[in-house]
Chains A and B, each alone.
Chain A
Amino acid sequence: MRRTILASTCLAAALWSGTVSRLAQAEPPEETATTKSQSEHDPIEGVNRKIFWFNDRVDVYVLEPVATGWAFVSPKRVRTSVSNFFANLRFPIVAVNDLLQGKVVDSASDVGRFAVNTTVGVLGFFDPATRFGLEKHVEDFGQTLGVWGVPPGPYLVLPIFGPSNPRDVVGLGVDYALSVTPFFVDQYILIGVRAIDAVNERSLILEEVKDAKEAAIDYYTFVRDAYFQRREALIHDGETNAELEDELYHPELGGEGAVP
Chain B
Amino acid sequence: MTHRNYCMPKAARLALVAVSLAGVFRATPARAADSPRAVVERMTNAALEVLGDKSLGVDEKRHRLEEIVYREVDFDTMSRLVLGRNWSRFTPEQQTEFVKLFKEHLSVTYGNNIENYKNERVEVVGDREEGRGDWTVQTKIVRGGGSNDIQVDYRLRKQGDTWKMIDIVIERVSLVANFRAQFQDILGNGKPEKLLQILREKNARHEPLKTTDDKK
Contact = CB atoms under 8 A, between A and B. Distances in A.
A35 B185 contact: yes
A138 B5 contact: yes
Q: Give the secondary structure class of A's interface.
A: helix
Interface in A40-82: 76-77, 80-81
Interface in B45-94: 80-81, 84-89
B16 A211 contact: yes
Contacts of B110: 215
Contacts, number: 195
Interface string A129-152: 000000010111000000000000
Interface stretch (A22-30, A99-107, A162-170, A185-193): A162-170
Interface in B157-207: 166-167, 171-174, 176-189, 198-199, 202
A99 B148 CA distance: 24
Interface residues of A, number: 73
B134 interface: yes
B59 to A, nearest CB: 18
Contact of B182 (A164, A214, A225, A245): A225
A57 B178 CA distance: 23
A162 B2 CA distance: 13
Contacts of A229: 11, 172-174, 177-178
Contacts of B109: 211, 214-215
A161 B7 contact: yes
Nearest to A59: B8
A136 B1 CA distance: 9
Nearest to B199: A217
A233 B80 CA distance: 24
A76 B145 contact: yes
A249 B8 contact: no
A90 B2 contact: yes
Given A38-B185, A248-B176, 8 more contacts: A76-B147, A80-B145, A139-B2, A140-B5, A162-B8, A212-B15, A225-B173, A230-B11
Interface of A: 33-35, 37-39, 76-77, 80-81, 84, 87, 90, 93-94, 126-127, 136, 138-140, 158, 160-164, 168, 172, 175, 197-198, 201-202, 204-205, 207-212, 214-218, 221-230, 233-234, 238, 240, 242, 245-251, 257-260
7 contacts: A34-B86, A90-B3, A93-B2, A160-B7, A172-B3, A226-B10, A246-B131
Interface of B: 1-18, 80-81, 84-89, 105, 109-110, 112-113, 116, 130-132, 134, 145-148, 155, 166-167, 171-174, 176-189, 198-199, 202
